[in-house]
Chains A and B, each alone.
Chain A
Amino acid sequence: MRAVLAQQNISLTNFLNQVAEGLGYLQPEITLVATLILLLLFDLIFKKNKAFGFTAIASIGFALVGVLALLQWSSETVSLFGGMLSLTNFSLLLKVAFSFGGLVTLLIAWRGKDEIKAEFFKSGETLIMLAALLLGAFFMTMTMNLLLVYVSIELVSIASYILTGLTGDRKRSEAGIKYLIFGAASSAIMLYGMSWLYGFTGTLQLDSDSFYAGLTAVPMLPLIIAMVLTLAGFLFKLGAFPLHIWSPDVYEATPTPTVAMFSAIPKLAALTIVFRLVQLTPDTFDWVPILTIVAIASMTVGNFSALWQKDAKRMLAYSSIAHAGFLLVGIITHSETGNEAMLFYGLVYLIMNFAAFFLINQFESITGSTKIDSLKGLGRSMPFAGVLMVLVMVSLTGLPPTAGFNAKLYIFSALWEAFGQQENSWLLWLFIFGLFNTVVSLFYYLKIPYMLFFKELQPNGIQTKGRSADYIIGTLLVLPLLLLFFRSDWFVDLMNTINFVF
């Protein structure tokens, strides 16, 4: 902090004024903290029947956060806390999406099987950690400082470790510990990379002139090493190759609502950090090879590994790795259309994943398992839920008539456009692998519809009657996917108002 102050030559009073002023822009974050504290107090004060209170505090808190973020909407970039945070409508949009995600997580938990309900609503820890995770993700969308990047990533990570290994279940503890060790290792790598960067430039402020000048002056080889090492931490949060290995185990062990959150919110938050880093690096440094390798490898490894999975959550873990690759494509194109396509893809991905996990949660609460085999024939006895599931899977594959198709279409057209302008053969390879992987993904995504509709129902006395509340929520989650296919111009119009400059 002193270094920051020294570099910017700002007096302490001036700085304190800026902080006081900046706090006014942090209403969503402050509300999150307040929610967190309220949950804590509520947990401490009341002894019994706390479920209702927790639900009310968490949902009202998350909803309020989203509303407050929406109220701040402006196309101008606001620099806070001496430039440590940069508030744009890009980050605001993500904040709204994250609070929506938080609410859906609560909804999934609320409609889940009894153990999940107990975990979420019996005591406050889970909800408190969810709030902390959201808080970290919120800061990740805004931060312009490597230190704050690290702190916010760690906030998200630690919350995630706890959420994974919270209960005494041996399997979960194991997954939690694995996650923690892996996370610690990647954070170490990231910090090492950041220290190189600090060494090159003498600053942690990403948008400062000295950062830019320093990077321009540095020889290419050390810069590549520094960048790749720094990137490692981000890729860990993004769940991309080669730091993706934790996700299947964690996804499998963690309760479905939490997984839904893991699969979307930290991923998009990390994406914004990678995006920012790439944007603010001088053009002399070529990001394309690094990110292309990462993207191709993520897609390929994710998709091919998903082929053999027997557990729906594990399968979706690999699928989320593959999607991380697709999300990176938007950054690689380094163009306005690429940015928009990336954001579009990110938001659609968020909706798809929450919908997918919601539906899996529903089937899980009926069959008691997340095994793909356990879905056999359920589509015939619960056709509506089955059709919703099919739509989500089609959207994840990226086929019409769903928004997943538009997302892939935009991202590939942006890529093709970039290839047309830059004539960079990496982009062509990325294009080819992207298309190829889309085909591969068809094999495992459609496994679920296949089980649902083409296999006989196993007569093991499962109560297959769906609940209408689930149908309504499921429909509300799937509807945007269809709507955004037919009226994708709404989203595109929204994208056009987004300010991608920090």
Chain B
Amino acid sequence: MIDLHEILTFNSSPFMYLVLALMAVPLFSFFTTGLFGKKAPLWASFLLLLNTGLAVYLLLTNIHAELQNFRGQWFQLGNISITLNIMVDELMLIMSVIVNFISLLVHVFSMEYMKHDKRLSLYYRYLGLFTFSMMGIVLFYDLLLMFVFWELVGLSSFLLIGFWFEKKSASLAANKAFIMNRIGDAGFITGLMILFTQFQSFDLEAIKTLMLLSEIEDGNWIVHFMNNGEQVFNSIDGRWLSAAGIALFCGAVGKSAQFPLQIWLPDAMEGPTPVSALIHAATMVAAGVFMLARIFVILDAQALEVVAIVGAVTAFMAAIAALSQFDIKKVLAYSTISQLGYMVLAMGIGAYSAGLFHLITHAFFKAGLFLSAGIIIHQLHALEDKDVSFDPQDMRVMGGLRKHMPKTFFAFLFCALALAGLPGFSGFLSKDAILLNLSAWTDHKGGGFYIPEVLAFATVIFTAFYTFRMIFLVFFGEFRLPSLIQDAKLKALPKDGNAKLMVPALLLGALSLSLWFGFTLEAEGSWLYHLIETPVFLVPVSYAATSLIDIPERYFEALHTIIPAVSIGFAFIGFVLAYLAYKPGAKLEKAFVNRREPVGPLGQISFYHWYQDSLYTKIILPFILLLSRCLAWFDAQIIDRFLDGLAKLAVVLGHVTKWFDKYFVDGLVNLTATTSGKVGQLTRSIQSGKVQTFVVMSFVFLLLILLLLMF
């Protein structure tokens, strides 16, 4: 029988400090950036450059090395030892490079984008805090620590969404994001507690080892191990195994904006655009997927099915919602939700490598899209003055920007093509891998499981459609702003930004080419895909899902040609539809400009994102408010009344005891005093006066004593 302490061996090496520096440097940036005032951006960017260098160095030196982990004691509670565990594996190394690299680009980009902000150094401190927290999630191979940093990431996200808290919408959006995430985190905590109850450890290595040793007997989930020399025998209903996985997944649902908690992400676009790029597109929202990857092997078949269905539904719903938005950032936000849905779907069907591959490619192209959109917003915003006022995020004021901002156009285009999933761009490789695995999974599963596949493929068309709609509306045709503002005259025409804005965007645009991931049109041909190998499920066999590794090769062989073809075809259909509808001078393009909101039931459903917000505010919220009012009533009428009654009882008792005190206790004291007084007068009266009496009295008493003693 295995002892928990044999798994939780403490080990460390000097190398550990290098890994910890990945967290320490951003934390240092958080603490010190405030001291630099106007130079804060430079200092923070410099520190992050160092950190990125370190991350790249670690990646290059350790990518093919053996797995290493460092473990130390945090604290001990009786037999339970809470450990700190850092795992150096491929996933951690790659994620730390991506987080640091995109964070660095955003730092540079923000130098220009935020330069007029009065709380500039605070902004950079928040970025430092975010990077630190994100690195915590990436580094710690321990559910409790992961949860701690998970919350810290949530906090920095809250702070950055509400960075312009003077705007009511921004502070509301920050609250909304925070609350939605808390709902998910309640699930995360539940999952933690289930696993801790069973395994008495939060350490993922311990959990995984014990999970492998656990068994299902008569529907009970049994684990048997030693802890500090004591035998531990835990047996709970087998359904808790599924419940643990689903509960943990709830955390990911909140953080990665999955159905039904995804509504916070579009609102989160109230934050500065570079923040949207970093946090709400590339890194933080991907943390949910990263977490799923960490717990992937302990998810059972049922939990994975839930994951897959939620992912597919999210991807489809968000793609529909992206079709009709006016705000460029909203389109990108919905597309982010949609792509995250793909990743979660990939995890659900067991396509571990494909999901993470998509996470990586998406991080680059979506950050690129946001930064390019940021340039457009920034440059349009520069045109505003006291006469001219418009919403610089609204696509209705754009159009024809290709001529004015050619570099931005190319950056945006490359990233957009990756998003649409066209061959030659990174998104094609990763999305193709997901679709391929999905098809194999559907074929293998059969039954009703074709629905995710249908939704996923439909999403391909919609993705291509909204992507090209965006491109046509923003970059083609005529610049619509001058005609919209009528009387007032623009002081200049928009143009490309300076190097601080352009370099990050162009870099990300370039990284959206599939070239970097391998000269191939298939995910299997990419070096990255092979770096992240799909692990084997560790849950008891009867509960485990069929791993895609175990699916016979013949399922894939047929699909290898058909899936890319279908996917390219669908993307092309999307492109054609978008071209027909929104090419310059098309009917929809003309009508679009003057519309306040889309017409027709489908347009409405899309624009209002399936009325999910309304559903929450009109039905669920009143119900919750009613419940809280009921509880308040119960509190005020029952509990408070009860307490009031108790207090009144105490007062009455007080009066009674006061009465008792006054007449009995005081009476007793007064009686004593009076008696003492009376006795005193008596003793005094017999001893005052004549000396003869003195002497006689003394004699009498002396004799009395004698008599008393004698008898």
Chain A residues with CB under 8 Å of chain B are 177-178, 181-182, 185-186, 189, 221, 224-225, 228-229, 232, 241-243, 245-246, 248, 289-290, 293-294, 297, 300-301, 303-308, 439-440, 443
Contacts and interface: CB of A to CB of B under 8 A. Distances in A.
22 contacts: A181-B691, A181-B694, A182-B691, A182-B694, A189-B699, A221-B710, A225-B706, A228-B702, A228-B709, A241-B701, A242-B701, A245-B697, A245-B698, A289-B708, A297-B701, A303-B676, A304-B676, A305-B680, A305-B687, A308-B680, A308-B684, A439-B672
B703 to A, nearest CB: 9
Contacts of A301: 683
B361 to A, nearest CB: 79
B594 interface: no
A315 to B, nearest CB: 11
Nearest to B696: A185
A343 B700 CA distance: 31
Contact of A293 (B694, B699, B708): B708
A242 B691 contact: no
Contacts of B710: 221, 224
B695 interface: yes
A289 B709 contact: yes
A242 B697 contact: yes
A224 B698 contact: no
Contacts of A186: 698
A290 B709 contact: yes
Contacts, number: 76
A305 to B, nearest CB: 5
A39 to B, nearest CB: 31
B706 A243 contact: no
B683 A305 contact: yes
B585 interface: no
B677 interface: yes
Contacts of B681: 308
B705 A228 contact: yes
A232 B702 contact: yes
A443 B673 contact: yes
B624 interface: no
B679 interface: yes
B673 A224 contact: no
Nearest to B679: A304
Nearest to B697: A245
Contacts of A440: 672, 676
Interface in B14-30: none
Contacts of A182: 691, 694-695, 698
B680 A304 contact: yes
Contacts of A248: 687-688
Contacts of B684: 305, 308
A182 B673 CA distance: 32
A245 B677 contact: no
Contacts of A303: 676
Contacts of B705: 228, 242, 290, 293-294
Contacts of B676: 303-304, 307, 440, 443
A245 B679 CA distance: 16
A242 B698 CA distance: 5
A246 B694 contact: yes
Given A182-B694, A242-B697, A307-B680, A189 B702 contact: yes
B356 to A, nearest CB: 74
Ranked 10 nearest A-B pairs via Cβ: A242-B701, A304-B680, A178-B691, A307-B680, A245-B694, A245-B687, A304-B679, A185-B695, A305-B683, A242-B698
B706 A224 contact: yes
A181 B692 CA distance: 9
A300 B702 CA distance: 16
Contacts of B691: 177-178, 181-182
Nearest to A439: B672
B709 to A, nearest CB: 5
Interface in B655-711: 672-673, 676-677, 679-681, 683-684, 687-688, 691, 694-695, 697-702, 705-706, 708-710
Contacts of B694: 178, 181-182, 245-246
A228 B683 contact: no
A248 to B, nearest CB: 8
Contacts of A300: 679
Given A181-B695, A305-B683, A242 B708 contact: no
A243 B698 contact: yes
Given A242-B697, A242-B698, A439-B672, 14 more contacts: A177-B691, A182-B691, A232-B702, A243-B698, A245-B694, A246-B694, A248-B688, A289-B708, A290-B709, A294-B705, A304-B679, A304-B680, A308-B677, A443-B673
A290 B704 CA distance: 11
A232 B672 CA distance: 32
A32 to B, nearest CB: 31
Contacts of A229: 702
Of A185, A245, A290, chain B has the most CB atoms within 10 Å of the CB of A245
Nearest to A174: B691
Interface string B482-514: 000000000000000000000000000000000
B698 A185 contact: yes
A228 to B, nearest CB: 5
A256 B138 CA distance: 89
Contacts of A181: 691, 694-695
A294 B704 CA distance: 11
A371 to B, nearest CB: 17
Nearest to A242: B701
A305 B702 CA distance: 19
A242 B677 CA distance: 20
Contacts of A189: 699, 702
Given A178-B694, A182-B691, A242 B702 contact: yes
A51 B673 CA distance: 48
A307 B677 contact: yes
Contacts of A305: 680, 683-684, 687
Contacts of B680: 304-308
Contacts of A241: 701
Contacts of A224: 706, 709-710
Interface string B557-582: 00000000000000000000000000
Contacts of A304: 676, 679-680, 683
B226 to A, nearest CB: 55
A300 B691 CA distance: 22
B476 to A, nearest CB: 94
Contacts of B677: 307-308
A228 B695 contact: no
Nearest to A246: B694
Nearest to B677: A307
Contacts of A297: 701
Contacts of B702: 189, 228-229, 232, 242-243
Contacts of A243: 698, 702
Contacts of B700: 242
A303 B677 CA distance: 10
Interface in B243-299: none
A229 B698 CA distance: 12
B686 to A, nearest CB: 9
B663 to A, nearest CB: 21
Nearest to B681: A308
A290 B706 CA distance: 8
Contacts of A185: 695, 698
A435 to B, nearest CB: 13
B465 to A, nearest CB: 90
Most chain A beta-carbon neighbours within 10 Å: one of B688, B695, B700, B708: B695
B666 to A, nearest CB: 14
A81 B57 CA distance: 106
Contacts of A306: 680
Contacts of A242: 697-698, 700-702, 705
A177 B692 CA distance: 11
Contacts of A293: 705, 708-709
Contacts of B687: 245, 248, 305
